[in-house]
Amino acid sequence: MLTIDGHHLTLEEIAAVARRGEPVQLAPAARERLVRGHRWVQEILAAGKPVYGINTGFGIFADRRISAEQAAQLSRNLILSHAVGTGAPLPEEVVRAAMLIRANTLAIGYSGVRPVLVETLLEMLNRGVTPEIPSQGSMGSSGDLAPLAHLGLVMTTDAADRAEDSGWATYRGRRMRGREAMQAAGIPRLILGAKEGLAITNGATFSAAILALAVHDAAHWLDVAEITLSMSLEALLGASNAFDERVHRARRHPGQMAVAARVRALTRGSTFVDAGGRVQDAYSLRTAPQVQGAARDAWAFVAGVVEREVNAVTDNPLIFGPHDAISGGNFHGEPVGMAADFLAIAMSEVAAISERRIFRLTDGNLNYGLPSMLVDAPEAAGLNSGLMMPQYTAASLVLENQTLAGPDSTRSLPTSGEQEDHNANAMTAARHARAVIANTAHVLAVEAYTAARALDLRLRQMPEARLGRGTAEAYRRLREAVPYTAGDAWWGPEIARAREVLASREFLHAVNARIKDASTD
């Protein structure tokens, strides 16, 4: 069971809870901090001094005083009025990740909420109540207000307790009203106190959740990209000198050095590499460490941003003591939005250089003696189209990525009567980064599928040749799932199966194990 304390949540833990149902509990020390923070809010209320969001209105209405007796209604009104998202519902894994992140950030103890609010979020995770959250409508500043308000509809209530005001949720595979889902799971809904409505809705939590899962996935596909690169390098009889350790050490970029080192490990023992007798190759092979290495370095930066964000206080105001409430801007999603844009740019480039290798593999003028479009034999060309269309699909996805990778965080419109005059657009940036990664995964699947066919044909030409230890394992596993077909076939389902192979942890573990074994030979 995962224990959260507000300070140590990792990307792997987020994925475990969001995707694999890992149960969660609150650390005792975090519970004590929550009790203390809530007590401070009560003391602020008793003192009567105006503090934003505790006894005032919100946004443009921050100068309007609210009585202590109206504090609960203020919180509930915030939830009701802000739940105006639109668009298709977010995937369940994203919603679960956001619930975990929100619970973790509140657990730090500076938001002034009761422990029961955090514990309710954790119970919803543990018992499988997933609110339905529209995917559009957040500016990513003042937090993801609309998405978080939809979460609040399900977990909170008021004296009227109207089912139609409880939003929607799924429970045990069924979509139902939020009130019904919570009742079925045996989880009481909360009547909010002072500051608690604001604490639920403040923070770029859904933006961070989408990006956290995207970063987790990107790490996997960056590893896969080095395998597909290595398979293409062998299929094209590429030159090894571009991957020489000295070349990359001279430039000093850690990602570049890591990519080159992994290609050397994957292709160790190959007799295809350097068999073409060329001094140097086209950029899609020769500069792949520089391009994919830059993406690795970008990933490391983005991962650091996300890990800080999911362990940060993103509420406003922050309560540091009974007479020490400070209004600031930690809810602003700019760090998340910029990081999401950076990741989208990086992964779109991984897809772009992969597509160039696919093109080279299928072009009879560029693939060094393989049939055009990798038809089974030259005389079959025309009757068979070969892998012409998979390259089209890859090119289409790369073009789409180029649009999706246009920065969202540079786009802003003012809201709330100019009180919120610069917005981050962070959730849109995170959604686009997630889409770029999904597209990149498919491009890499096309490359793996194309390179495997090219290797089949190359082995026919060079029956005594052998693959590298790592690439041989990757090739073997792909061919177990998708056997070679001589003539035209319905390539689409076969590429989908190749993508499933590449997406599995077992595939990477197996290839990495072969590399490790090879290093001890």
* Residue 144 amino acid letter: D
DSSP codes of every residue in 203-252:
S-HHHHHHHHHHHHHHHHHHHHHHHHHHHHHHHTT--SGGG-HHHHHHH-
Return the structure tokens found at 477: 């596993």
pLDDT value at position 73? 83
DSSP codes of every residue in 286-335:
HTHHHHHHHHHHHHHHHHHHHHHHTTS---SSEEEETTEEE---TT--HH
Cis peptide before 317 (omega within 30 of 0): yes
pLDDT value at position 382? 92
pLDDT value at position 68? 64
Q: Which residues of the chain have pLDDT under 70?
A: 57-60, 62-63, 66, 68-69, 518-521
- Tell me the C-alpha to C-alpha distance, in Å, between residue 330 and each of 202, 313, 413, 516: 9, 7, 19, 44
Distance CA 93, CA 15 (A): 8
Is the distance from CB of 121 to CB of 96 less than 8 angstroms?
Answer: no
pLDDT in tens, 346-361: 999 999 999 999 999 9
pLDDT value at position 379? 87
Is the distance from CB of 148 to CB of 203 less than 8 angstroms?
Answer: yes
pLDDT value at position 46? 83
CA 163 to chain centroid, in Å, comes to: 33
Is the distance from CB of 8 to CB of 311 less than 8 angstroms?
Answer: yes
Distance CA 232, CA 454 (A): 8
How many H helices and E strands in the chain?
A: 19, 11
Catalytic residue among 52, 171, 449, 475: 52
pLDDT in tens, 409-420: 998 888 887 777
pLDDT value at position 251? 98
Residue 52 is among the residues annotated as catalytic for this protein: yes
Assessment of whether the complete model's pTM goes beyond 0.85: yes
* Residue 241 amino acid letter: N
The percent of the chain in helix, strand and coil, each rounded to the nearest 5, is 60, 10, 30
pLDDT in tens, 226-240: 999 999 999 999 999
Residue with the two structure tokens 């994925």: 15
pLDDT value at position 521? 53
pLDDT value at position 159? 86
Distance CA 211, CA 217 (A): 10
Sign of the CA dihedral running 331, 20, 506, 471: negative
Torsion of CA 55, 61, 63, 67, to 10 degrees: -30
pLDDT value at position 420? 79
CATH number of 210-313+329-414+423-519: 1.20.200.10
Report, at the CATH architecture level, how domain 2-203 is classified: Orthogonal Bundle (1.10)
Q: What are the extents of the domains in the chain? A: 2-203, 210-313+329-414+423-519
